[in-house]
Amino acid sequence: MISLEERARRIKMAVFDVDGVLTNGGLMLGDDGLEYKIFHSQDGLGMKMLKNTGIRMAYITGRKSNVVVKRAENTGVQIIYQGIDDKLEAFTDLLEKQGVSAEDCLFMGDDVIDIPPMRRAGLAVTVPHAMPLVKEYAHYTTERQAGLGAVREVCELLMRAQGTFDAQMAPYLK
């Protein structure tokens, strides 16, 4: 049995679902036809710090939204798959294009559409409100809620396991 720390130590790429992971899962639709999402600033800083350590990041999401592109730009995420019905297909394509093995990849999701890539990933992560079946396939369930620091928790978990946490905190602890 591989420990959580061993799994986290191997990660070279972190892949996140958006709705229900980076957000609380609620969808805000305006009369103007636009979709609005609320992201947490702590998650954003966590992703920026994680990127600084050399870990690549991607989003694979079932919905399409311009705000996801803006969030990716803000947090340093360069790879986005949107409007995806088959997340395993997208995950496999991502791994192939990036030259990363599934064992060296984290996948974080919250609903059954996320189970196929979670089953392939070396580290499968979910959030407390995830569907019960999803939790059965997760190696780790965050303490923090989706959209309220769960992604930051995962970023810090990876940095601690890989010995990069102190260097990322140093500028703030002078």
Q: DSSP string spanning 27-67?
A: -EE-TTS-EE----HHHHHHHHHHHHTT-EEEEE-SS--HH
Q: How many whole angstroms separate alpha carbon 145 and alpha carbon 43?
A: 11
Angle at 15 between CA 12 and CA 21, to 5 degrees: 140
**Could you tell me which residues are annotated as the binding site?**
17, 19, 110
Per-residue burial over 133-160, b = 16 or more CB atoms within 10 Å of its CB, e = otherwise: ebeebbbbebebebbbbbbbbbbbbbbe
- Alpha-carbon distance values, 125 to 122, 145, 146, 155 (Å): 10, 12, 11, 11
Annotated binding site for substrate: 19
Known binding-site positions for Mg(2+)? 17, 110
CA distance 23 to 43: 10
